[in-house]
Structure 1
């Protein structure tokens, strides 16, 4: 006997005509549900906190070294030689500088003025439970940082409100700050730009500035020695105008040698100082502000249209599920 053949599973087909018929029966319900949900979302958007966004656009530039003319050509005319210093921070790292804890500590402890004239500090303005940062905590930016949970919560909030992004095609850096007050948003953006410019300049010229300070001290000392040798030589000559002894000539020769040595040392150090000063200017990067931050007149959040659209889609989707599985009981047809 042949074994009974298993019955083929029933295939449920849903045609386009069925789908069209379903929407034809329930389109009004879906439309009303979407409209009511959108209206509810628009109303709820008024409960969301208002935010303002200020933006600055910066173009990073660096000196081209000895081949770029400018100070290098001026130095060559003066007989000075400048080296090509390529130590610089890559522009794609600028967003990391804005997001560093050193900058966050600085901006959290800086007083700002609101639109109504009130002076505030971000730490307490964004979280009333947080205590203001102490000078000791701000000074810890380059070492071990300790803060309370409330202060750390504010730091994370500030970090999310301050963003920096680099445009890959143009190389322009966009710095943005989003705050509950329009004047505060512009002030925070401006502080971020200033901090970035100072940080990049200090990083690039730190070594040359140390050398510059050392040469200034050496030049001042050499100048004093040169002036003292000049006075000593002229004083001796005034006192021994008619002296023709060998001892007088030897002493005069010694004073003159001291004077010449001091003059040579002073001249050489002065040239080195001028070369170092030009080198420091040559190495200083230029961050050109293409668009300064402007106090925004329009709020960036909440976006009420997006609220309404999102709630309308959500309400329509939930209504669709209700009609499919409760009103039409499609799942029972599928499960058989």
Structure 2
């Protein structure tokens, strides 16, 4: 048993020594070919600089807001506080709202919401006022290699256009229900430039936009925030606004009925003022009662309108803007240093692989070819 352990120990020591020898040999081989590595690294630096300066600058602007939650009750607030410490949100379970803050990113990235942003006017850094769609189509550039990669697809599209029998004129308006391929590509391009993120603990919503113009980025972030607030407000107050509309409608009907009954009572009183007929007195009394009932109904519906207006105000959510949109000073992308370091690293790895493995690969290929030739001659 002791001999086996001793043998295993000696074999491990021998393997470690062989690995150290192999690493030293590889390091020596790389050092002896350092000129080749330096050439490859120099080429990587040149390519990295070309790529870094070819990518257009992108500017990012963000807004942080804290939405008001509509909780159905305060029961379980202690459990919610304990759960929040563990990163679990229990407020959404008690909310009567179907659009939770966790769903805000889905609302922002939806096609109808994105399509509504295309017609928003924005002012560029050179004080040019255009729509978001025009900015994406005319003022947004791409790296030079993307144009080369798109040439085959453009050629295919041109050929299809020549053989297409459709002569229908394209409409300038975008229908969110029925998008063309070009419109869908544009909508997806804009959707990828806006983002909404929700903190699971604090429920603070961060809305950000990425554009090639700093002023447009700030304006777009502010517009997305206001549009999202309007969407949530419209949803939260929809039932209360419908109740207010119905209350105003029946109040107007009651007002007209009261005015009509009051007018009839006044007319009958004036006509029968000098008469002492019992029938006329009863008719006047009946009209007076009808006018009183109409006034009571009108008064109660007016109170109902006031209650409905207060309900609309009560259900209107309040959004606390923690951080407003500002015009960015520095570009968020691209990171020229990161691109340069990445290309230098790739050049070093490629040159090391070329020095260490290519000679052995060539020799193995030659030996295989030589063995095949020998076998063929023997046959």
Fold similarity call, TM over 0.5? yes
Match of 2:330 among 289, 295, 298: 298
C-alpha distance 32-294 of structure 1, shift in aligned 2 (>3 A): same
Is 1:213 the counterpart of 2:223? The answer is no
CA 1:317–1:115: 2 relative to 1, 3 Å? same
2:144 equivalent in structure 1: none
CA spacing shift, 1:67–1:249, aligned 2, 3 Å: farther
Question: Which residue is equivalent to 1:93?
Answer: 103
For 1:145, the equivalent position in structure 2 comes to 178
Map of 1:46 onto structure 2? 53
Confirm or deny: 8 A CA contact 1:175 1:193 kept in the other structure: yes
How far off its partner does 1:209 sit? 1.4
User: 1:182 maps to what in 2?
Assistant: 214
| Cα deviation, residue 25, structure 1 | 4.8
Q: Which runs of 5+ in 2 are unaligned?
A: 1-14, 76-93, 139-153, 155-168, 369-379
TM (normalized to structure 1)? 0.78
Q: Secondary structure at the match of 1:177?
A: strand
Matched with 1:248 is 280
Report the 3-state secondary structure (helix = DSSP H, G, I; strand = E; otherwise coil) of the residue aligned with 1:294.
coil
Say yes or no: does 1:134 pair with 2:167.
no
- Structure 1 counterpart of 2:233: 201
Q: Deviations over 1:8-65 (max 9, x none)?
A: xxx9984124314432552555567446524541342011111111111121212345
Q: Deviations over 1:166-186 (max 9, x none)?
A: 112221111111111111111
Q: Identify the match of residue 68 of structure 2 among 57, 61, 68.
A: 61
Is the CA contact (8 Å cut-off) linking 1:42 and 1:305 kept in structure 2?
no
Whole-angstrom distance in 2 between the partners of 1:257 and 1:238:
17
Q: Hey, what's the Cα distance between the residues in 1 that align with 2:248 and 2:74?
A: 28
Aligned length: 302
| Structure 1 position 322, deviation (Å) | 1.0
- Deviation, 1:275, is 2.1
Aligned position for 2:27 = 23
Q: CA 1:314–1:85 in structure 2 vs 1: closer, same or farther (change >3 Å)?
A: closer
Written as runs of structure 1 = structure 2, the 5 A alignment for 1:98-137 is 98-128=108-138, 134-135=172-173, 137=174
Note closer, same or farther for the CA distance 1:66–1:251 as it changes in structure 2 (3 Å cut): farther
Report the CA distance between 1:115 and its aligned residue.
Answer: 1.0
1:235 shift after superposition: 5.3
Query: Which consecutive unaligned segments of at least 5 residues does structure 1 have?
Result: 1-10, 69-83
* 1:266-305 equivalence runs, <5 A: 266-305=298-337
Distance in 2, Cα, partners of 1:52 & 1:133: 32
Deviations 1:71-105, CA, capped at 9 Å, x for gaps:
xxxxxxxxxxxxx9924311111001111111111
Return the TM-score normalized by structure 2. 0.70
* Structure 2 SS opposite 1:117: coil
- How far the C-alpha of 1:188 sits from its partner, in A, is 1.0
- Partners in 2 of 1:265 and 1:110 — Cα distance? 47
1:230-245 alignment, distance < 5 Å? 230-234=262-266, 236-237=268-269, 244-245=276-277
- Of 185-194 and 270-279, more deviation after overlay is shown by 270-279
Question: Displacement of 1:127 after TM fit?
Answer: 2.8
With over 3 angstroms needed to count, the CA separation of the structure-2 counterparts of 1:251 and 1:122, relative to structure 1, is same
Which digits, 9 at most, give the CA deviation of each residue in 1:172-204, with x for residues without a partner?
111111111111111111111111111111122
Q: Is 1:124–1:132's contact at 8 Å kept on the other side of the alignment?
A: no
